Structure 1
Amino acid sequence: MPSMHAPLVALSCLLASVRAEVTIYGLTGQTTLAHLGPGSSSAPLSTTTSFATTPGPPQYTGLAAYNPVYMVPPAIPSPAPANQFSIGVPSDAQLLPGLSVKQRGSFFGFSIEMSVANQLIGTSSTNLHVPFLNFMSIIAEKAGEVHVRVGGNTQDTAYMVDSLPDGKFLDKNREDASNPTGTPIIAITPDLLFMLANVSSLVNIKWYLGIPFNDTNWRFQIAEKSEAILGDNLLGLQAANEPDLYARHGHRPENWGPEDFFEEFSAMTQAYSSDSQVPVKNNLIAPSVSSSGWTPEQVWDTGFVEAYSDYLQALAVEHYPSDNCAVIYPDPNNPPKNPLELLPQYLSHKSGQQLVAPYLNSTALAQQWGKPFMMFETNTASCGGFPGISDTFTSALWGVDYALQMAYSNFTTALFHFGGQNVSYNPFTAAPTNESAIHQWTTGPIFYSSIFLAEALGKTNASQVKDMLINDGNELTPGYAIYENGQFARMALINYMTDPSGANDYTATIYVGGDGFGEPNAAPASVKVKYLRAPSTSEKDNITWAGQTLGGRFMADGRWQGEESVLTIQCDQANNACQIKVPAPGAALVFFSDAAQAAAADGPIETFSTSIITKSKNTVTIDPSVLATSNGESGKDRLHRGGTSYGAESSGMAAYVAPGIAALISVLAGTAMFIRAS
């Protein structure tokens, strides 16, 4: 490994919370007042907000990541699901048929559109974003490591250059973009890869990268440089992103199909094998079809895996349950979807079951072929998600259920996608750079799903999952048993209903072992429980995991706020029963085995902070003499940085920092910060 630039980190300042309110409409007409989040106005300062004056979906014209749209949770069905029921589980995994393959704690990972790497990860190899490091540290501590993909639509036309003006590592050309989704053509420098390597030196993150597949003049510079710079921290290289959509987007002839893809992949692998600067030849990930054009079987039927097995590290697909594309890209064949009508679908166990069903044949075939099977990109809906769904507690519960359903169905990885500030589904979002002097980052509810999954699967990389179809398979009260090293370890319980009265909280009585399984009674004396909670499935800010929160909109830096609360619940060993209450709404992770209960106690999580912040409002202060002798940049030299491939926001800016220095002053949105390597 060559020497890397010393990693340095930057962090926006703290802010105070202010609530604003507005009357909007929901499923049943006019609803209660909905808070719009922190800040002195109802939306980011550079945007406007407008709402319908008649019943129907509210209209919001600001940045989607901070939208104030609130929708009334679905009513409790009549009759309501039973709120008292029992679950029997054996203590020995061999007595429970249908368990998944062994899963890693890093199962739930992240996908970052290559064009927004500078918004989320850092602005250079020596200037890393502190909140990103902190958010990732949470998952790394619980799962052992984090898997992150940098790619997406923008990878297919990406090309590498030695340098860019003003020291940038990424530049976008929108004028040349031919994709109807507005995907820019991007140029990157090796400093992007040095940045990823420096992140990995601080947090145990391993990376997937995308390489271009837009023409037969194959460009492998990303592969060459990433192998040299990232080394063992490079997990694999995705070749082709959603090739089944190439023809639809005008990148291939109209009749271009799976056989044509097979032939192009052949040409690519021949060139790949001949490239002496790519030392590893078996780390490609494909075919990454979206299933909107071709089914995976259409690719398998070409003999794809048999032909290219020596090059394939893993098989992958990409899939979203719905799309919000018509709002951004009007299409008479794809009319706009009404989030109010879609909301109940995300509050149902059927959602995950239906999403994985088309892939069960492929996950079985992958096991025969000895290949991991990955969901390489997913989230609540493509083209940025749905306001009022993707950015609420609905998505947190849905994300837990969907991810566990994928794990149970023998996917081996699931990567949830990030865009820029103009999408609703981000696991977390940087503050708009014209407001970063007064606002912090925003935690997306689905990030809590990743924490839940990391703890549910643990660090042993030997966890197996079973959908228990509890409560007679009721779609509003799903539950999963999780075994570790062959023994019952944890149970995940979800309650999709919203009922502040408590009448639809449910109590599951869990029996471990016993005569029903030909085992001795095995209920422990007590269990530990962590709850994922919010007042409503429509809540955006007040979300807690084990009593702690990462902060609502504009209030997060990736560090926990509040005191952790891990409940100890006594079991009735005489009757072999442990009773677990699950709030409406909420999810409970119950730790049964001794090893699981020991792991439930969080160890110290390494976090990162800037050394000194000079803005006096909401910050600490610094001796001006320190600034006088620093090597910071002037705010007048700020550079624009843009957004995601879908609805990107380009009002931001970035700061370049010269490599190889030990400390610096970084000027981001008017806030000077003295930064020192952690």
Structure 2
Amino acid sequence: MRLHLVRLITTITASAILCALLSDHVNAATPNATIHIPSSRPAFAEKLSQGLIGFSIEMDRWTSWAGDAVGKPNPFVNQVLGVMESFTGVPPPFRVGADSEDRGYIQPGITVINASFPAATADIPFPEAEITGIGKDFYALSSNLPKGTSFIWGVNLKARNMSETVAQVALLADTFQGSRKALMANVTLTSLEIGNEPDFFTFPGWTPSAYVELWSTIVNKITSIIKLGGPNEPKLEGPAFAGFAAAQWDAMSVLNAGFAEGKAGKLLGTFGEHHYSGVHAYPSFNPEPKMGDLFNKNSIRSNLTKHAKEVSRARSVGLPYILGETNSYANHGAPGVSNTAEAAIWMVDNALQAASIGVQQMYFHHGVGFRYNLFQPVSGAEDGVGLTSRPHILPVFYGVLAVNEAIGSSGKSCVAEIGTDSATVSAYGIYEQTKLARIVVINSEMYLPSQNSTRANSTVYLDGLGKDVHFTAKRLSIPFTNATTGLTWASVNYDTASGVPEGKPQQEDVTGSAMTVAASEVVLLCLK
């Protein structure tokens, strides 16, 4: 997501701004903390999707992720995706589109892609394409991803060119349902997204009602071209609002305008909106993100509050709610924050907080060289980590591993936030059906190189488990909050040239109702 509108500031709630301004408190020494574990699974626990964490790919960089040609996948990408799948049993889902979705055009005679990029800037070294030409094999590259991968594919709405949108849908239909169906047998088109962030469109008379009217007209036109809504057929995902625009662009506005009604509305499968924690390098937004803002406990919760309301509104019409595009700071991430270990700690709290309020899936946005990428799919991506000579993972990836292991592979787990008495310690209970199986403990106190001899440790008391409880502990360990390398999950290094992890997972055996959690550390407890 790249922002360019003066309406930006309206997205950040007053409480979120206050938390950002006061975020220096994370430097204070962390006191001991108590986690108040309920005696039974809370009634508000939410089901955890094995595919909670997925990928949103900027369409103009699709070949960097999927490979340059059909049958020639990117081996590093598929290896790392396989690592993620090994924890949950499900490959991460993909959404392809975003800003370049509404700058995409079918170009006959092109095999894959013909993208035209503007000049890079210091703040945006890898800008989105001004125009992306779509060739006959473009969508078919989906077959290069791991077996079982599901896709949301986006098509152009902003052009308001019915012929263009129909041509894109026709190529998608031929790829997944027509002449190339056999090629695509191992992957699934689950959703079609028509337009990216239409709340940012600036057409005269553009309102939520005008959007619903245009969207419905297009849907009614394409139903004769692509099979939608039936068993094993894709459904629609939308409205894909940015969430940074004026307040009237929300779930209620489009639902009141009939978005989920009629022939078009009945083809919806998910209600999807977008979410970022803030913005980097936008002149009208102040202050610029700084270290400690991102993983601030209160900030994470206040930023997600509005989505709890949107979840409820979507459920009122029978639709699951997803964040079809999300990440730390819009405009490709903030240097010195999004590309550091702070983002790994943030990922755990942010993802589990979203899941605990009913968000079913989160598609983290990616391009090439974006500072908030989970990993870079190709060499030459300058993201501040210093590994341009090869594809590589970024620190935030370690947070994903912690979340995926917490979710597990049963397909029956639920999550609920567990209360603590600490401003920097958070906790989540993971339940297998009704039984508490795992606890995630997050300490978001900052730890910097200048403090290298005084790393704070909190004694965390597990109130409600009893004194004789037995569990194992795995740790997300980091050198410093601002580190870009040197992280491990359960003592394993995942940042290798091949993407194959190095080391054997290590865990501690713990007995009793207390344990130590260091500043800027995450611990996964598995009850025996």
Fold similarity call, TM over 0.5:
yes
Residue 460 of structure 1 pairs with residue 460 of structure 2: no
Q: Which residue of 1 aligns with 2:114?
A: 171
3-state SS, counterpart of residue 345 of structure 1 = coil
Deviates more, 1:482-491 or 1:434-443: 434-443
Distance 1:82 1:147 in 2: 39
CA offset at residue 192 of structure 1? 3.1
Q: Which residue of 2 aligns with 1:297?
A: 252
Q: Which residue of 2 aligns with 1:353?
A: 301
3-state SS, counterpart of residue 474 of structure 2 = strand
Could you say if the C-alpha distance between residues 380 and 304 of structure 1 is closer, same or farther in structure 2, counting changes exceeding 3 Å? same
Residue 445 of structure 1 pairs with residue 395 of structure 2: yes
Could you say if the C-alpha distance between residues 542 and 337 of structure 1 is closer, same or farther in structure 2, counting changes exceeding 3 Å? same
- CA contact 1:339–1:386 (8 Å) conserved in 2: yes
Distance 1:503 1:155 in 2: 46
CA offset at residue 352 of structure 1? 2.0
Residue 426 of structure 1 pairs with residue 373 of structure 2: yes
Distance 2:473 2:465 in 1: 20
Could you say if the C-alpha distance between residues 188 and 282 of structure 1 is closer, same or farther in structure 2, counting changes exceeding 3 Å? closer
- CA contact 1:535–1:585 (8 Å) conserved in 2: no
Alignment of 1:88-487 (within 5 A): 88-90=37-39, 92-93=40-41, 96-100=42-46, 102-145=47-90, 146-161=92-107, 163-164=109-110, 168-174=111-117, 183-201=129-147, 204-213=148-157, 214-217=159-162, 218-219=165-166, 220-228=169-177, 229=181, 230=184, 233-247=188-202, 252-253=203-204, 255-275=205-225, 283-293=235-245, 294-307=249-262, 308-326=264-282, 334-335=284-285, 337-340=287-290, 343-421=291-369, 423-433=370-380, 439-470=389-420, 472=421, 474-487=422-435
- CA contact 1:324–1:337 (8 Å) conserved in 2: no
Q: Which residue of 1 aligns with 2:499?
A: 558
CA offset at residue 534 of structure 1? 0.5
Percent of aligned positions with the same letter in both sequences? 22
Distance 1:211 1:505 in 2: 50
CA offset at residue 434 of structure 1? 9.9
Distance 2:365 2:416 in 1: 25
Could you say if the C-alpha distance between residues 156 and 273 of structure 1 is closer, same or farther in structure 2, counting changes exceeding 3 Å? same
- CA contact 2:280–2:288 (8 Å) conserved in 1: no
Q: Could you give the per-residue CA deviations for residues 490-537 of structure 1, whole angstroms, max 9, x where no partner exists? A: 1111111234446621122224557xxxxxx9x64x312111110211
The unaligned stretches of length 5 or more in structure 2 are: 1-22, 119-126
Residue 537 of structure 1 pairs with residue 481 of structure 2: yes
Q: Could you give the per-residue CA deviations for residues 45-89 of structure 1, whole angstroms, max 9, x where no partner exists? A: xxxxxxxxxxxxxxxxxxxxxxxxxxxx957555x3422534323
Q: Which residue of 1 aligns with 2:520?
A: 585
Distance 2:425 2:497 in 1: 31
The unaligned stretches of length 5 or more in structure 1 are: 1-72, 176-180, 515-520, 594-678
Given candidates 77, 83, 87, the residue that maps to 2:36 is 87
CA offset at residue 431 of structure 1? 4.4
Q: Which residue of 2 aligns with 1:509?
A: 461
CA offset at residue 183 of structure 1? 3.9
Residue 568 of structure 1 pairs with residue 509 of structure 2: yes
CA offset at residue 184 of structure 1? 2.3
3-state SS, counterpart of residue 380 of structure 1 = strand
Distance 2:465 2:323 in 1: 34
The code of the aligned residue for 1:320 comes to Y
Distance 1:84 1:140 in 2: 33
Q: Could you give the per-residue CA deviations for residues 395-443 of structure 1, whole angstroms, max 9, x where no partner exists? A: 111111111110001010011111222x211111144459999922121
Q: Could you give the per-residue CA deviations for residues 637-669 of structure 1, whole angstroms, max 9, x where no partner exists? A: xxxxxxxxxxxxxxxxxxxxxxxxxxxxxxxxx
CA offset at residue 211 of structure 1? 1.7
Distance 2:207 2:221 in 1: 21
- CA contact 2:407–2:430 (8 Å) conserved in 1: yes
Could you say if the C-alpha distance between residues 76 and 337 of structure 1 is closer, same or farther in structure 2, counting changes exceeding 3 Å? closer
Could you say if the C-alpha distance between residues 477 and 171 of structure 1 is closer, same or farther in structure 2, counting changes exceeding 3 Å? same
User: Which of the two has higher C-alpha Rg?
Assistant: 1
Distance 1:147 1:226 in 2: 18
The code of the aligned residue for 1:132 comes to V
Distance 1:339 1:192 in 2: 36
CA offset at residue 132 of structure 1? 0.2
The code of the aligned residue for 2:302 comes to Q
Could you say if the C-alpha distance between residues 298 and 510 of structure 1 is closer, same or farther in structure 2, counting changes exceeding 3 Å? same
3-state SS, counterpart of residue 287 of structure 1 = strand
CA offset at residue 317 of structure 1? 0.4
3-state SS, counterpart of residue 461 of structure 1 = coil
- CA contact 1:324–1:336 (8 Å) conserved in 2: no
Q: Could you give the per-residue CA deviations for residues 150-205 of structure 1, whole angstroms, max 9, x where no partner exists? A: 111111232335542xxx51111348xxxxx854221223423333213234xx42
Q: Could you give the per-residue CA deviations for residues 560-618 of structure 1, whole angstroms, max 9, x where no partner exists? A: 1233212222x24xxxx3x232111210111115xxxxxxxxxxxxxxxxxxxxxxxxx
Q: TM-score, normalised by structure 1?
A: 0.65
Q: TM-score, normalised by structure 2?
A: 0.83
Q: Which residue of 1 aligns with 2:122?
A: none
Distance 1:563 1:490 in 2: 21
Could you say if the C-alpha distance between residues 455 and 239 of structure 1 is closer, same or farther in structure 2, counting changes exceeding 3 Å? same
Distance 1:300 1:277 in 2: 24
Could you say if the C-alpha distance between residues 433 and 444 of structure 1 is closer, same or farther in structure 2, counting changes exceeding 3 Å? closer
CA offset at residue 373 of structure 1? 0.3
Distance 1:406 1:279 in 2: 27
Distance 2:114 2:198 in 1: 24
The code of the aligned residue for 1:239 comes to I
Could you say if the C-alpha distance between residues 84 and 387 of structure 1 is closer, same or farther in structure 2, counting changes exceeding 3 Å? same
Distance 1:133 1:290 in 2: 29
CA offset at residue 324 of structure 1? 1.9
3-state SS, counterpart of residue 490 of structure 1 = strand
Could you say if the C-alpha distance between residues 222 and 348 of structure 1 is closer, same or farther in structure 2, counting changes exceeding 3 Å? farther
- CA contact 2:314–2:320 (8 Å) conserved in 1: yes
The code of the aligned residue for 2:376 comes to T
Could you say if the C-alpha distance between residues 562 and 215 of structure 1 is closer, same or farther in structure 2, counting changes exceeding 3 Å? same
The code of the aligned residue for 2:99 comes to N
RMSD of the TM alignment (CA)? Answer: 2.7
The code of the aligned residue for 1:348 comes to N
3-state SS, counterpart of residue 223 of structure 2 = helix
The code of the aligned residue for 1:205 comes to T
Distance 2:226 2:335 in 1: 48
Could you say if the C-alpha distance between residues 414 and 76 of structure 1 is closer, same or farther in structure 2, counting changes exceeding 3 Å? closer
Distance 2:455 2:431 in 1: 31
